[in-house]
Amino acid sequence: MENITVTGDFGRKPALDFVGDPSDDLLVDVLHEGDGQEVEAGDTIRCHYLGQVFGGDVFDNSYDRGQALSFQIGVGMVIRGWDEGLVGHRVGSRVLLSIPSEYGYGERGVPQAGIRGGDTLVFVTDILGIA
């Protein structure tokens, strides 16, 4: 993405740099294309991820915990930006998502996590496997 730079390799905690303003659209950029099974709606996938407010602070990441997250994708268990942005990619892929608020937490945000209403969320997600 032209306004987000990601450094770091697949499986390791990335770092993000931002320039300018976030997009109003859901943006998906495959940083590393995996060669594993393709993720389909309804699959339970296992991922490492880093979540950061565009131009702001990291609000969550699984790398520091040393434990990937497993969840069902494409069925409304996670935010819409993940449901729409991760289906169709392959295991072994690193995917950059820029998620406008209507695909994330909307106008309510998640204040306890440092996400204000209307914030654009940026995730780097490493797809590790399908259960």
Tokens of 86: 């991760």
pTM: 0.96
Structural domain containing residue 78: 4-130
Task: Tell me the mean pLDDT in the region 95-110.
Answer: 97
DSSP bridge partners of 69: 47
Q: Which long-range contacts (CB under 8 A, 24 or more apart) does 12-21 make?
A: 12/63, 13/50, 13/61, 13/63, 13/64, 14/50, 14/94, 14/124, 16/50, 16/52, 16/122, 16/124, 18/54, 18/55, 18/122
CATH code of the domain covering residue 82: 3.10.50.40
Across the range 47-56, mean pLDDT stands at 97
Work out the average pLDDT over 63-85: 96
3-class DSSP state of 51: strand
- Does 102 score more than 90 pLDDT? yes
Contact 56, 18 (CB under 8 A): no
pLDDT band at 73 (very low <50, low <70, confident <90, very high): very high
| Nearest C-alpha neighbor of 74 from the set 50, 35, 45 | 45
pLDDT band at 71 (very low <50, low <70, confident <90, very high): very high
The per-residue pLDDT for 2 is: 87
Query: What's the structural domain count of the chain?
Result: 1
- Mean per-residue pLDDT of the chain: 97
Three-state DSSP class for residue 113: helix
**pLDDT at 126 > cutoff 90:** yes
pLDDT at 1: 87
| Tokens encoding 5 | 């730079």
State the Cα–Cα distance between residues 40 and 53, nearest whole angstrom: 27
Question: Side chain identity at 60, as an amino acid letter?
Answer: D
Q: How far is it, in rounded angstroms, from Cα 46 to Cα 131?
A: 7
